[in-house]
Amino acid sequence: MNEKAAWGVLGMGVMGTSLSRNLARKGIRLALYNRFLQGEEEGVAAQRCIAYPELAAAQPFEDLEAFIQALETPRKVLVMVPSGSAIELVLEQLIKFLSPGDILIDGGNSHFEATEKRAQLFENVGISFLGMGVSGGEEGALNGPALMVGGERKAFESLSKVLSQIAADNPQGVSCLGHFGTGGAGHYVKMVHNGIEYAEMQLLAEVYECINSHIQPNWSLLNQWQHTKSQSYLLGITATIVSFQEKKGLLVHQILDKTQHKGTGSWSSISAVAQGSPATMIQAALNARYTAAQKEYRVKMAGELPVQTVSIPLDEAVLKKAYDLARWINHHQGFELLKAAKSTYAWSFALSEAAKTWTAGCIIQSRLMQELTLILDSQESLLETVAFKKIYAENISSLEAVLSWSLKAQLPMPVMSAAAQYLFSIRQANSSGNLIQAQRDYFGGHGLEWKDSREGNHGPWKQRS
């Protein structure tokens, strides 16, 4: 008779398989489950056990009840299925077989509000439900991801030894594992991670456009940047991507310019709106994807609204400085969104804990993130730090120059523009908000706040109508 498994992993897709292999390499006894779907998914868990030597001792299942019974108690089940209807169906089935004291971990990209509701549902029957954001893709899941956990603290602590073993270690040897609060806190932090990621990716896409506009593009530039303070995972993979050449030129030029998204970027934007937090770069990156997805319409309008293409040289050092400054603003906006959410949902984690979790294993790991971890230990507003004020003073003219260049070249730079516009707005002591107040009061009677001590909270507009 097989010894009971210490952990169960449900869902043998790319991420579920990679995390299972990671767990097995750390000596964790596993039971693996994948649904049976005739002609589409048959014997999947058993196939994984054959394909990967580290999973040879794992117990494969297609029967959910047998899978649960194969686990030692209290049971620990890691669910790795897509968010939405798939996870809902799985949880409906699992609740029938689990017992009080068991721990269920949703490692998918679920919306944090759904995780909040599920945590309450399972708590009512004595089962601990944790929402765990997993970043790093297939490679990270296999070799060490960043893990962002939300849910009952006691349940998290009972799993933290194993989770810290499979998580990435940052350059200081600290595990990229964090607990961020109850309910959906972990999935919220992962959502903001993905929002920052959207803007970082679009920033690099805009840099790519700038380089590509030159008569003789310098595609080694990104690799050069990777050996400076600009270093990041995303910059590194972008430098690699643009190094692939074929007879027709760059391989990336042969890829259809039609983007997709899975929802986490829009969730970040929606939450930012709900919190009243100006995550303008995330929103601009999301809109850039929406526009890129409209390939057919863009081709049509390119014919109807022709652009006079002009090749204008752009100084590479200026481009790098603009990029570096924009990245600081993107990270600032992401951490400001986390700060707002902490207040709204009564989560007590430190912003530096999120930064620390993002220093290795994840998509937004970078030298900048390592620097921010230290800064956020003592200061929660990045724009108020000495480090930012220095880079602002040194780089703001470059950001302005790149945007001026992009207008002349008629190249879209939505995220870099959003960075600059946010800066221009946030440093404006007296804004045009007074006129907005007056307009709202004029047509809707919404009231006014006065600078002086005059009586009344409405303007005299109606008397003059």
Do 48 and 83 lie in one domain? The reply is yes
pLDDT of 139 above 90: yes
pLDDT of 241 above 90: yes
Do 348 and 413 lie in one domain? The reply is yes
- The predicted structure's pLDDT at residue 464: 53
As a whole-number percent, the residues of the chain with pLDDT over 90 amount to: 89
**Whole-number Cα distances in Å, 376 to 23, 47, 194, 382, 387:** 32, 46, 20, 8, 11
Q: Is the peptide bond before 74 cis (omega within 30 degrees of 0)?
A: yes
What's this model's pTM, rounded to 2 decimal places?
Answer: 0.95
Cβ count near 85 (within 10 Å): 9
Catalytic residue among 76, 116, 152, 197: 197
| Per-residue pLDDT reduced to its tens digit, 87-104 | 999 999 999 999 999 999
Do 76 and 179 lie in one domain? The reply is yes
| Per-residue pLDDT reduced to its tens digit, 429-463 | 999 999 999 999 999 999 999 999 888 899 998 76
Domain final position from 115, 150, 183: 183
As a whole-number percent, the residues of the chain with pLDDT over 70 amount to: 99
Domain final position from 161, 183, 205: 183
Query: What CATH number is associated with residue 305?
Result: 1.10.1040.10
pLDDT of 117 above 60: yes
| Per-residue pLDDT reduced to its tens digit, 310-324 | 677 899 999 999 999
DSSP string, 90-114: HHHHHTTT--TT-EEEE-S---HHH
Instruction: Please give the single-letter amino acid code of residue 333.
Output: Q
Do 136 and 154 lie in one domain? The reply is yes
Residue in 461, 430, 419 with CA at minimum distance from that of residue 199: 419
Strands of the 76-79 sheet, one edge to the other:
59-61, 30-33, 7-10, 76-79, 103-106, 128-135, 146-150, 177-179
Query: What CATH number is associated with residue 41?
Result: 3.40.50.720
Active site residue 451: no
Beta bridge partners of 177: 147
Distance CA 107, CA 149 (A): 9
Residue whose pair of structure tokens reads 């709202």 in the numeric block: 440
Sequence-ordered list of residues with C-beta below 8 angstroms from that of 406, at least 6 positions apart, any chain:
210, 412, 413, 416, 417
| Per-residue pLDDT reduced to its tens digit, 364-416 | 999 999 999 999 999 989 999 999 999 999 999 999 999 999 999 899 999 99
Do 316 and 401 lie in one domain? The reply is yes
Residue in 317, 329, 343 with CA at minimum distance from that of residue 372: 329
Q: Indicate the length of the chain as a whole number.
A: 465
Do 164 and 210 lie in one domain? The reply is no
In terms of Cβ atoms closer than 10 Å to its own Cβ (0-12, 13-18, 19+), residue 362 is buried
Do 103 and 138 lie in one domain? The reply is yes
Active site residue 190: yes
Do 337 and 229 lie in one domain? The reply is yes
Do 271 and 302 lie in one domain? The reply is yes
Q: Which domain holds residue 80?
A: 7-183
- The predicted structure's pLDDT at residue 84: 84
Residue 181 · residue 345 · CB < 8 Å:
yes
The total domain count for the chain is 2
Domain final position from 149, 183, 217: 183
| Per-residue pLDDT reduced to its tens digit, 165-175 | 999 999 999 99
Catalytic residue among 76, 152, 190, 336: 190
By DSSP bridging, strand 30-33 and strand 7-10 are: parallel
Instruction: Report helix angle 414-426 to 280-293, nearest 10.
Output: 160
- The predicted structure's pLDDT at residue 355: 98
Do 110 and 220 lie in one domain? The reply is no
Residue 321 · residue 398 · CB < 8 Å:
yes
Sequence-ordered list of residues with C-beta below 8 angstroms from that of 92, at least 6 positions apart, any chain:
none
